[in-house]
Amino acid sequence: MKKTLMMIALVGALSAAAVFAQGSGESGASGSTKNYTFGGSSTVAPIVNSAIPVFEDANPGVKISYETLGSSVGIKQLQEGTLSLAGSSRELKPAEVDAGLVPTTIALDGLSVAVNSSVSISNLTMDQLAAIFAGEITNWKEVGGKDAKIELIVRDETSGTYGSFKEIVLDSRKKSPSVNAIVARENGELAAKIASTPNSIGYIGMAFNHIITEAGGKVLTVDGVAPSSDAVKSGEYPISRALYVVSKGPLQGGVEKDFVDFLLSAKGQAIVLDSEFIPLD
């Protein structure tokens, strides 16, 4: 009798363990869900967040979340193993490449320069932009506007948008960013600050131009060129960049590679376009 009871208890324990394994999301268990966490750039977020439900529908049992952290934080967490893919709106630094990180371009983008409606000018040159954001030009009258102090609004230093603007506009002219600026943590906040701050100027991903105009601001031309898809693709618009998904080493297989391949597919590039970014083709 004791042996029989022990056998029943053992079978029951094994059955319970099997049920637990099936519900824990372990790979290969029937009906299980496997969770993946991606994250990083707020600019890349609209593309990835639009692609995730389409990808999940085609891949039952896969659940993906994307955390909007900023490019640099996302890349750091990728290196630490917290994320398995990172979105980035800036190029990788040499040290990041040396650490084995691999970027895949998924879209193109332009950075727009936007101003408050109180600003009378409609165009700035790249040299003027660099001098303004370096704090060397501090009054709108110095660039043909009215006599008013320029209010700078910038993204925080973890943002890929900040990194790209700094690299393209300031670093190329050996200038450092002004420390006298209002900082916005994401695109919507930046647009709202520009719209509510007289005599202000800032920069934003081109896909978010409508947020600026809806909030009451306006978008400038740069070197006489308006930010547009055609101008970015042709290289005519001077403040342009690529958007990336970054992996820890080359993608050899698995959900991460399947997701990146999906972003590069015709359906994925259609999502890029619907998200108001510029497809690669």
Q: What is the location of CATH 3.40.190.10 in the chain?
A: 35-108+242-274, 110-240
Q: Which of 229, 209, 230 is nearest to 218 (CA)?
A: 209
Does domain 110-240 fall under CATH 1.10.10.1100? My reply is no
pLDDT at position 31 is 60
Per-run averaged pLDDT (10 residues), the chain, 281 residues:
40 34 35 91 93 97 96 96 95 96 96 96 98 98 98 92 90 94 92 94 90 90 95 93 96 96 98 90 81
Where do the DSSP E strands lie in the chain? 34-40, 62-68, 85-88, 101-115, 123-124, 151-155, 182-184, 200-205, 218-219, 221-222, 240-248
Tell me which residue of 212, 178, 170, 176 sits closest to 194, measured CA to CA: 212
Taking the C-alpha atoms of residue 87 and residue 215, their distance in angstroms, rounded to an integer, is 27
pTM: 0.70
Among 39, 76, 41, which Cα is nearest to 155's? 41
pLDDT at 13: 39
Fold of 35-108+242-274: D-Maltodextrin-Binding Protein; domain 2 (3.40.190)
Percentages helix, strand, coil for the chain (3-state, rounded to 5) are 45, 25, 35
Tokens 């006599």 -> residue: 147
